[in-house]
């Protein structure tokens, strides 16, 4: 059988990816307390509760058995869709699987070991370009990814449906990020143009990371898993140059104009 025929018969392919995901960090296992707080949140931000997938983080709970089914029912009643559980002992893992949910190990255990240098990371994916940063011809049509001592530089527009990642260090985009596009970095994200897509900094949990863009229109901003959607951003900040960072566990957006 030819390769082309084999491809025609394929129903799917597996691909790795990093998707923005809301983490609901539980500090109480009481479904009624969770219900009460969710009701208050729903009244404040109804647009957020629109079938949003969430990961239930139970790492801060010291209970071997959780009323996980009841907690999931409370979430669904408020239009949140639990898709997985992070952390917890083996009984919690088994309960998650029994409910058809995924399970992730605790964050510290699952965090990848940093490579000794960015050069090692670049060698691993063979993405290093030998030219200096200024070597790209002016007005070049194709975007040129460049590995640098501090992460990655991407020249050009990040188009809808495209994802650009800096798994180690900062990501610098010299261009715009279109709606439907996604930029992610272990460190900071810098966009020297309009940011209309999604930007995620500190994807491995770096709370000191930030997002800096010349023109804010982002669909979603996230730092170390804490995020805001477009509808949650102060309209006065739209179209301005901003910095986005965490302060006291809350995402702060400040204009630099």
Residue-level pLDDT at 71: 94
Same domain (yes/no): 126, 251: yes
Same domain (yes/no): 150, 33: no
Residue-level pLDDT at 16: 55
Residue 16 covered by a domain: no
User: Which helix or strand (DSSP H or E) is residue 123 part of?
Assistant: helix 118-125
Phi, psi angle pair for 83, to nearest 5° = -120, -20
Residues 12 and 47: their CA atoms lie apart, in Å, by: 32
Cβ(232)–Cβ(218) below 8 Å: no
Helix (DSSP H) and strand (DSSP E) numbers for the chain: 6, 16
Residue-level pLDDT at 134: 36
Structure confidence by residue, pLDDT tens digits, 50-77: 778 889 999 988 877 789 999 999 999 9
Same domain (yes/no): 95, 185: no
Structure confidence by residue, pLDDT tens digits, 106-121: 865 444 434 333 333 3
The SS3 call for residue 90 is helix
Domain count, the chain: 2
Q: Which DSSP letter does residue 114 get?
A: P
Q: Which residues contact 77 (CB under 8 A, 6 or more apart)?
A: 35
Q: Which residues contact 75 (CB under 8 A, 6 or more apart)?
A: 24, 34, 38, 54, 56, 81, 82
The two most distant CA atoms of the chain are separated, in Å, by 62
Is the pLDDT score of 231 beyond 80? yes
Residue-level pLDDT at 168: 87
Same domain (yes/no): 197, 142: yes
Average pLDDT of the residues in 90-106 = 90
Same domain (yes/no): 101, 131: no
Same domain (yes/no): 60, 180: no
Tokens of 82: 């639990």
Cβ(35)–Cβ(63) below 8 Å: no
Tokens of 184: 């992610």
Average pLDDT of the residues in 154-166 = 91
Query: How many CA atoms within 13 Å lie on the side-chain side of 195?
Result: 32
Torsion of CA 189, 190, 194, 200, to 10 degrees: 0
Is the pLDDT score of 242 beyond 60? yes
Average pLDDT of the residues in 144-152 = 57
Residue 10 covered by a domain: no
Average pLDDT, the chain: 79
Structure confidence by residue, pLDDT tens digits, 15-64: 655 566 778 889 999 999 999 999 887 776 666 677 788 899 999 888 77
Q: Which residues contact 147 (CB under 8 A, 6 or more apart)?
A: 118, 119, 121, 122, 127, 128, 129
Same domain (yes/no): 135, 227: yes
Q: What percent of the chain has pLDDT over 70?
A: 75
Provide the residue range defining the domain that includes 240: 118-255
What's the CATH number where 192 sits? 2.160.20.70
Residue-level pLDDT at 45: 66
Same domain (yes/no): 123, 238: yes
Q: Which residues contact 90 (CB under 8 A, 6 or more apart)?
A: none
What's the CATH number where 28 sits? 3.30.70.260
Residue-level pLDDT at 4: 53
Residue 199 covered by a domain: yes
């Amino acid at each position: 059988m030819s390769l082309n025929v084999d491809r025609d018969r394929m129903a799917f392919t597996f691909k790795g990816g990093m998707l923005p995901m809301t983490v609901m960090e539980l500090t109480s296992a009481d479904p009624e307390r969770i219900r009460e707080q969710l009701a208050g949140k729903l009244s404040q931000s109804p647009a957020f509760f629109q079938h949003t997938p969430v990961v239930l983080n139970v790492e801060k709970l010291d209970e071997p058995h959780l009323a996980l089914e009841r907690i999931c029912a409370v979430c669904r009643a408020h239009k949140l869709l639990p898709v997985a559980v992070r952390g917890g002992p083996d009984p919690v893992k088994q309960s998650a699987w029994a409910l058809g949910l995924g399970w992730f190990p605790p964050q510290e255990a699952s965090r990848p070991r940093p490579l000794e240098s960015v050069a090692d990371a670049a060698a691993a994916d063979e993405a290093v370009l030998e030219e200096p940063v200024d070597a790209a011809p002016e007005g070049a049509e194709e975007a040129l990814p460049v590995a640098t001592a501090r992460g990655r530089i991407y020249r050009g527009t990040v188009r809808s449906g495209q994802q650009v990642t800096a798994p180690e260090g900062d990501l610098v985009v010299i261009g715009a990020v279109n709606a439907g596009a996604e930029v992610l970095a272990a460190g900071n994200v810098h966009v020297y143009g309009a940011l209309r897509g999604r930007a995620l900094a500190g994807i491995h949990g770096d709370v000191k990371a930030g997002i800096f863009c010349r023109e804010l229109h982002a669909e979603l901003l996230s730092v170390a898993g804490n995020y805001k959607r477009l509808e949650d951003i102060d309209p006065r900040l739209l179209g301005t140059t901003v910095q986005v960072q965490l302060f006291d566990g809350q995402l702060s957006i400040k204009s630099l104009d």
